[in-house]
Amino acid sequence: MSAIRLKTHRVEKPWGRHTLWPGFPDPAPEGDPVGEVWFQTLDGSEPDLLVKYLFTSEKLSIQVHPDDEAARASGYPRGKDEAWVILAAEPDSTIALGTVKPLTGDELRAAALDGSIEHLVDWKPAKAGDVIYSPARTVHAIGAGLTLVEVQQNVDLTYRLYDYGRPRELHLTDGVAVSDAVPFAVEDKSVVVAPGRTILCEGGKFVLERWSWDGERSVTLPADRPGLFIPVTGSGTIDGAAWEAGECWAVDGGAAISVAPGADILFSYPGPERLEF
């Protein structure tokens, strides 16, 4: 059993911000804005899941990720399902998920080329507390004014369909080929399974939980399902080491965890079904 604090990697983005989230120091006012914070292993290995924080001031590109089959056919280890937990949002913040009507591949490609795709994706209101599981092949875009935690299958594989005229490469052939350009229904599938333990999403490539308990507990994990301990707020200890907000810990086999009152913790692990702790 072991718990290891992952290292943080700050990524500067033109669409990022100078005001981040408690636990992350803000960039200098004269410095470049920070758009993402990644959590990476100390030895450079690439586990099945990756955790990021995102801080947006502009719309991100309209994009799509391939599923496992399509990604492996292109030489990648896996596709990319992802989930977002929105921590803060401006009143008019949105996330695009799916399209407002079914589109053929030819229609999707034409819309990407002439820019009408921006109005054919379904921009849904986004607010703090929302949880969205976005399967691979979903056409999507994260909007402006959002602070969120993203849990995803760990692969750097994104096909951009449209980028609002920014001078970045698009991937229309690959992207259209793996897109399910259909309406997408956001469903609240969260379920409370024990006091202070809520399953936010399951049934896909990973399980995402939210913990609001305090005190001391031990968590045991199967050898093939390591966990990620993501404290959004609060403090405590994990296997005797102090943790605080803005960190992410890799948990292999299990850990003894103490949590001070009032903490908000996310916990994720591979596999479609929840574990019994």
pLDDT score at 272: 97
Q: How far apart are CA 114 and CA 91, in angstroms?
A: 29
- pLDDT in 10s for each residue of the chain, 277 residues: 799 999 999 999 999 999 999 999 999 999 999 999 999 999 999 999 999 999 999 999 999 999 999 999 999 999 999 999 999 999 999 999 999 999 999 999 999 999 999 999 999 999 999 999 999 999 999 999 999 999 999 999 999 999 999 999 999 999 999 999 999 999 999 999 999 999 999 999 999 999 999 999 999 999 999 999 999 999 999 999 999 999 999 999 999 999 999 999 999 999 999 999 8
Q: How far apart are CA 224 and CA 222, in angstroms?
A: 5
Q: How far apart are CA 139 and CA 159, in angstroms?
A: 10
Annotated ligand binding at 65? The verdict is yes
Full-model pTM: 0.96
In Å, what is the CA distance from 177 to each residue of 53, 107, 122, 207? 29, 12, 20, 28
Which among 17, 109, 137, 160 is annotated as catalytic? 160
State residue 55 phi and psi, 5-degree precision: -130, 110
User: For residue 165, what are the contacts with CB-CB under 8 A and spacing of at least 6?
Assistant: none
Annotated ligand binding at 82? The verdict is yes
**32 in Cβ contact with 12 (< 8 Å):** yes
Q: How far apart are CA 162 and CA 164, in angstroms?
A: 6
pLDDT score at 37: 98
Annotated active-site residue 160? The verdict is yes
**243 in Cβ contact with 237 (< 8 Å):** yes
**235 in Cβ contact with 260 (< 8 Å):** yes
Annotated ligand binding at 140? The verdict is yes
Q: Mind giving me the DSSP string for the chain? A: -EEEEPEEEEEEEEEEES---TTSPPPPTTSPPEEEEEEE-TT----SEEEEEEE-SSPPPEEE---HHHHHHTT-S----EEEEEEEE-TT-EEEEEESS---HHHHHHHHHHSTHHHHEEEEE--TT-EEEE-TTB-EEE-SSEEEEEEEES----EEEE-TT-S----HHHHHHT-B-SB-------EEEETTEEEEE-SSSEEEEEE---EEEEEE--TT--EEEEEEE-EEEETTEEEETT--EEEESEEEEEE-TT-EEEEEEESSSPPP-
Q: Which domains does the chain have, with CATH numbers?
A: 2-177 (2.60.120.10), 191-270 (2.60.120.10)
At residue 251, what is the residue type? V
